[in-house]
Structure 1
Amino acid sequence: MTLPLNHFKRALKEGRQQIGLWNTIAGPVVAEALAGTGFDWLLIDTEHSLTDVPDVLGMLQAVSAYPISPVVRPAANDPVLFKRLLDFGAQTLLVPYVQTAKEAQAAVAAMRYPPRGIRGAGGTIRANRFGTVDDYMNRAEQELCLLVQVETAATLDQIEAIAAVDGVDGLFIGPNDLAATMGYTGNPGHPVVKTAILDAIGRIAATGKAAGILTLDRDFAQECMEKGSTFTAVGVDLVTLLGGVRALARDFGRG
Structure 2
Amino acid sequence: MMAQPWTGGAGVGTWIQSPNPEACEAAAGAGYDFCIIDMEHGTFGWDTTVHLVRATQALGSAAIVRVLGGDQRTLQKALDLGVDGVLVPKVEIAQQAADMVAACRFPGKGIRGACGTTRTSVHGIHDFQSVIKRGNALHIWGLIESGPGVQNVDAILAAGLTGVVLGPFDLAFSLGFEGDTGRPEVWDSQQRVLKAAKSAGCDCVVSLGGTEPAALEAEMKTWRAAGAETVTVPSDRAMLTAAYSRGLKTCRAAFSA
TM-score of the aligned structures, taking structure 2 as reference length: 0.88
3-state SS in 2 of match to 1:30 = helix
| Contact 2:14 2:234 (8 Å CA) reproduced | yes
Alpha-carbon distance in structure 1 between the residues aligned to 2:186 and 2:150: 12
Aligned residues: 246
Residues 227-249 of structure 1: CA distance to partner in whole angstroms, max 9, x if unpaired? Answer: 23332102221111111111222
1:89-138 superposed Cα distances (whole Å, 9 cap, x missing partner): 10211111111110001101111122422222223111011112223354
Aligned to 1:161: 155
Equivalents in 1 of 2:115, 2:206: separation in Å?
33
Structure 2: tracts of 5 or more residues without a match: 211-215
C-alpha distance in 1, partners of 2:56/2:149? Answer: 33
Q: Relative to structure 1, is the Cα distance of residues 208 and 26 closer, same or farther in structure 2, using a 3 angstrom cutoff?
A: same
User: Which residue in 1 is equivalent to 2:213?
Assistant: none
Q: Pick one of 125, 129, 153 that aligns with 1:132.
A: 125
CA separation in 1, counterparts of 2:113 and 2:128?
Answer: 15
- Indicate whether 1:192 and 2:185 are aligned: yes
Q: 1:42 aligns with which of 31, 35, 39?
A: 35
Shift of 1:141: 2.7
CA contact (8 A) 2:2 2:82 kept: no
Cα offset, 1:216, TM superposition: 1.6
Q: Any idea what the Cα deviations from partners look like across 1:22-53, whole Å, max 9, x if unmatched?
A: 11111212221222112111111101110212
* 1:110 pairs with 2:109: no
Give runs of aligned pairs for residues 30-179 of structure 1, distance below 5 A: 30-136=23-129, 138-166=132-160, 168-179=161-172
Percent of aligned pairs sharing the same letter: 26
Structure-1-length-normalised TM-score = 0.89
Unaligned 5+ runs, structure 1 = none
Is the Cα contact below 8 Å between 2:14 and 2:232 reproduced in 1? yes
**SS, match of residue 30 in structure 2:** coil
Farther off after superposition, 176-185 or 187-196 = 187-196
